[in-house]
A and B are shown apart, each in its own frame.
Chain A
């Protein structure tokens, strides 16, 4: 069974600084998809970024980028120029083909003004 591990239950970052959230996963599949979802205090789950494993190029979305290391089974999220609105729970998730998403337990990010 696939597993997703987020080893940092909590992180904090100063406003305008950069922070990296870690995620590792375990799978024997070669073709799969990885996601980062954000859950602010409103509880609404929002997609931050999506990576297809067969693409070597790291996905980016504005201030959000990933470092995808397929051999190491690592998928970290970098948030640049952190803003107060980035404060949230961040969940890493994995799926293979059409098997459902498996989520990590999340990292709570605090942004300090």
Chain B
């Protein structure tokens, strides 16, 4: 039982490049989330998926897209990376919704030059 897994662990991009961050959970959870963590800012929600087939914007969605591929997987795509997207990205899941305990992945550290 791996919980929430994220790939890659670390990535360096040049401005304008694109990439997809992958997230998978094996807990049969309905809800999944993408956050970014910047120094002194805490965690801010980018997008979430309350259930398979649905996605919604969070607090900071600009510059990102998401896909809920199936119940297990929720990917985050940066179409044209910018230095402002340098951050640590966390994926999380919860059984039914945001009021339930969220289980977090180990994070992806992204550096955009």
Interface residues of A (CB under 8 A from B): 33, 35, 42-47, 50, 91, 95, 97-106
Contacts and interface: CB of A to CB of B under 8 A. Distances in A.
B74 interface: no
Nearest to B57: A100
Contacts of B99: 33, 95, 97-98
A106 B42 contact: yes
A100 B59 CA distance: 9
Nearest to A4: B42
A9 to B, nearest CB: 8
Interface of B: 33, 40-45, 48, 50, 58-59, 88, 90, 92, 97-99, 101-104, 106-107
Contact of B98 (A46, A100, A104): A100
B90 A45 contact: yes
